[in-house]
């Protein structure tokens, strides 16, 4: 009998805890009127923006030390960060400030995010830093849910010396030329392209996206948020080209390999081409991973058809619940998205800013990327920002099948469509 009573009491107390949620947490003000806000970030350890975020948060805490304090929580690993945010979202306990590395959390979490439109309208100077593309990506139903601070500009890098060896004089302008050049590289004993399949097959999928985007309808597709249907000519044709690339033009470790292997093959000059963004450039000059002068041998190009990834990126969101915390978070987000911060991010981490910055001191490849993006005839967005997370995940398990010919490009497109629904 007693046992039953104990059990009932336990169940009751548990269900009460559910009903009450997590109400009374420590209040925002930590002594002497300083408002504390929580800021978990994946920018720690080896992540590319670690230095920048550390420097900026310290600067903010110093500048506003009488008013606000940002408490950073390091969450190593992009995926771990997303997983934790999802748990916190379901527990209705999101942190004050959220920023992801290209993952789109706005669509699933917008009911808990603060609509930032009125605050931006109040501050024309701040609004002036934001590009229209940047704002569009972060807007849902006319409401701005995040402040853009970076731009996604991606072409591909190639090794000029290897291109010369193969007798390639200028970068290919069409995909047919691209594959002809690949044959030239092969004939010179050089593996043309770095590819991968693990995680989201990032390097490979950038190529896939650029192939899809090489037409009017394709360009439109690569600017559509969360498409549900991949059964179209562009995707099928691109998947066919990727299949050919896997079978003929890449390294043996590509199928199953991750970004690390793909990058390493390019660093060691085993491959001549890798698609990736400018944040990679600082590694070209890091002699612990590359040989001397390697950086001087790397140039950047637009994808065939003069296609570039050039789009806004999901930026900084606020999920604070009290007026006081919203105010503090606003000050922090304003600080992190200011022209000064964006310029530092560009200079320290080669991350392309959302606003226009002309006087930054950067590597030549970074500046070239910006210039190419500005003059590209087609601008597309990347798959990781656009497509359903399930599709991005499905890609990694379908590439190996596509590579060894177990499935046709049509079946590949169908598999992505299935994953989206």
Partner 1 sequence: MKPKKRTLIVFLTPCVFLFLFVYLFPLIMVIVTSFFNWRIGENVFFVGLANYMKGVADPNVQAACWHTMIWVILQSTIHVLLGTVLALILLPRFKGWKIFRTVCMLPNVISTAALAMVLLNVFKTDSGLLNEILRLFTGSKVDINWYFNADTAFFSVMAGWLLYPGMITILMLAAMQSVPEDILEAAKLDGATSWQINTRIVLPMVRNTLGTSVIVAATSMLKEFELIYLTTNGGPGNATLNFPLYIYKTAFTENNYGYSNALSVMLIIIGVAIVMLINKMFRMDQSDY
Partner 2 sequence: MKARKFIGRILCVVFLAYTAAICVGPFLWVIFSSFKSNKEILDSAFSLPSSYSFDGYLRALEMSPIFEFFGNSVFIAAVNTVISIGAVSMAAYALARYEFRGKKIFTSLLSSSLLIPISGLLMPLYLIMARINLLDTKMGLIIVYAALGLPTSLFILRSTFLNIPKEVDEAAAIDGAGPIYTFTRIIIPMSRSGLATAATLHFLTSWNEFMFALVLTKSETNRTLPLALNYFSSQFSFDYTAMFAAITLSVLPSIIVFILLQEQITSSMAAGSVKG
Minimum CB separation of residue 252 from partner 1 in Å reads: 4
Q: What is the CA radius of gyration of the chain?
A: 24
Please report how close the Cβ of residue 200 comes to partner 2 at its closest, in angstroms: 9
| Residues at the site binding partner 2, with contacts judged by CB under 8 A | 14, 17-18, 20-22, 25, 38, 40, 42, 44-48, 73-78, 80, 83-84, 87-88, 90-91, 93, 101, 199, 202, 259-261, 264, 267-268, 276-277, 279-280, 283, 288-289
Angle at the Cα of 114 (from 110 to 118), degrees rounded to 5?
Answer: 125
Considering the complex, what minimum distance in angstroms separates the CB of residue 260 from partner 2? 5
The binding site for partner 1 (CB under 8 A) comprises 2-3, 6-7, 10-11, 14-15, 17-18, 82-83, 86, 89-90, 107-111, 197-198, 251-253, 255-256, 389-390, 393, 396-398, 400-401, 403-404, 406-407, 415
Question: Which one of partner 1, partner 2, none interacts with residue 25, CB within 5 to 8 A by kind?
Answer: partner 2
Q: Which two tokens stand for residue 329?
A: 């978070």
Least distance (Å) from partner 2 to the CB of residue 46?
5
7 touches, from partner 1, partner 2, none (C-beta below 5 to 8 Å by class): partner 1
Residue 73 backbone phi and psi in degrees, to 5:
-120, 120
Which of partner 1, partner 2, none is residue 78 near (CB under 5 to 8 Å by kind)? partner 2
User: Is the Cβ of residue 130 or residue 351 nearer to partner 2 in the bound state?
Assistant: 351
Q: Which of residues 89 and 126 has its CB atom nearest to partner 2 in the complex? A: 89
Residue among 48 and 250 whose Cβ is closer to partner 2: 48
Smaller CB distance to partner 1: residue 3 or 31? Answer: 3
- Select from 220, 319, 132 the least CA-distant residue to 209: 220
If contact means CB under 5 to 8 A according to the sort of partner, which of partner 1, partner 2, none does residue 45 touch?
partner 2
| Residue whose CB is less far from partner 2, 39 or 129 | 39
Which residue lies nearer to partner 1 by CB, 168 or 195? Answer: 195
129 or 267: CB nearest partner 2: 267
The neighbour count for residue 21, using CB atoms within 10 Å, is 9
Query: What are residue 139's DSSP bridge partners?
Result: 144
Buried b (16+ CB within 10 A) or exposed e, 364-400: ebbbbbbebbeebebbbbbbbbbbbeebbebbbebbb
Q: Comparing C-alpha atoms, which of 395, 407, 21 is closest to residue 198?
A: 395
Give me 158's structure tokens.
């190639």
Which of the choices partner 2, partner 1, none does residue 401 contact, using the CB cut-off of 5 to 8 A by kind?
Answer: partner 1
**Closest CB 7 distance from partner 1, rounded Å:** 7
- Which does residue 12 touch among partner 1, partner 2, none (CB within 5 to 8 A, set by kind)? none
Pick what 29 binds: partner 2, partner 1, none; C-beta below 5 to 8 Å, kind-dependent: none
Which partner, partner 2, partner 1, none, binds residue 4 by CB below 5 to 8 Å per kind? none
Least spacing, CB of residue 152 vs partner 2, in Å: 13
List, in sequence order, the alpha helices (H) in 123-232: 124-129, 132-137, 160-165, 175-187, 202-212, 216-221
C-alpha pair distances (Å), 36 with each of 53, 56, 330, 332: 17, 16, 13, 11
Q: How far is the CB of 264 from partner 2 (least distance, A)?
A: 4
Phi-psi region of 363 (alpha: psi -120 to 50; beta: other; left: phi over 0): beta
- CB half-sphere exposure, 341, CA atoms < 13 A: 24
Query: Nearer to partner 1 by C-beta: 17 or 371?
Result: 17
What does 268 interact with, of partner 1, partner 2, none (CB < 5 to 8 A by kind)? partner 2
Smallest separation, CB 411 to partner 2 (Å): 28
SS3 51: helix
Element (H, E) at 122: helix 117-122
H-type alpha helices, 188-275: 202-212, 216-221, 233-248, 259-267
Between residues 198 and 281, which has the closer beta carbon with respect to partner 1? 198
- Please tell me the distance from the alpha carbon of residue 351 to that of residue 345, in angstroms, as a whole number: 6
Angle at 164 between CA 162 and CA 168, to 5 degrees: 105
* Closer residue to partner 2, CB minimum distance, 159 or 417: 159
């Amino acid at each position: 009998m007693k046992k039953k009573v104990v059990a009932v009491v336990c169940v009751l107390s548990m269900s009460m805890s559910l009903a009450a949620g997590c109400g009374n947490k420590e209040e925002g003000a930590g002594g002497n009127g300083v408002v504390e806000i929580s800021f978990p970030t994946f920018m720690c350890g080896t992540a590319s923006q670690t230095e920048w975020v550390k420097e900026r948060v310290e600067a903010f805490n110093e500048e506003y030390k009488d008013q606000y304090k940002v408490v950073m929580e390091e969450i190593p690993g992009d995926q771990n960060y997303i997983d934790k945010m999802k748990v916190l979202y379901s527990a209705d306990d999101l942190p004050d400030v959220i920023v992801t590395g290209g993952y789109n959390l706005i669509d699933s979490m917008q009911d808990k995010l603060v609509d930032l439109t009125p605050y931006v309208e109040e501050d024309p100077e701040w609004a002036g830093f934001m590009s229209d593309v940047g704002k569009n990506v972060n807007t849902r139903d006319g409401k701005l849910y995040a402040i853009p601070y970076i731009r996604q500009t991606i072409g591909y890098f190639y090794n000029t010396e290897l291109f010369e060896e193969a007798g390639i004089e200028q970068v290919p302008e069409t995909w047919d030329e691209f594959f002809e050049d690949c044959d030239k590289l092969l004939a010179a004993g050089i593996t043309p392209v770095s590819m991968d399949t693990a995680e989201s097959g990032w390097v490979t999928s950038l190529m896939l996206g650029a192939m899809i985007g090489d037409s009017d309808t394709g360009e439109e597709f690569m600017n559509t948020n969360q498409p549900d249907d991949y059964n179209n000519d562009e995707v099928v044709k691109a998947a066919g080209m990727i299949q050919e690339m896997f079978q003929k033009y890449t390294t043996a470790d590509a199928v199953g390999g991750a970004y690390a292997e793909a990058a390493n093959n390019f660093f060691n000059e085993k491959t001549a081409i890798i698609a990736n963004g400018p944040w990679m450039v600082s590694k070209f000059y890091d002699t612990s991973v590359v040989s001397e002068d390697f950086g001087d041998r790397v140039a950047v190009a637009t994808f065939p058809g003069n296609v570039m990834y050039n789009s806004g990126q999901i930026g900084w969101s606020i999920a604070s619940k009290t007026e006081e915390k919203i105010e503090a978070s606003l000050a922090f987000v304003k600080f992190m998205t200011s022209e000064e911060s964006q310029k530092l991010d560009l200079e320290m981490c080669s991350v392309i800013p959302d606003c226009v910055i002309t006087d930054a001191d950067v590597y030549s490849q970074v500046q070239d990327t910006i210039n190419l993006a500005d003059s590209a005839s087609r601008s597309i967005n990347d798959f990781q920002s656009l497509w359903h997370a399930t599709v991005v995940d499905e890609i990694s398990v379908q590439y190996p099948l596509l590579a060894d010919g177990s499935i046709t490009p049509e079946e590949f497109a169908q598999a992505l469509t299935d994953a989206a629904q």
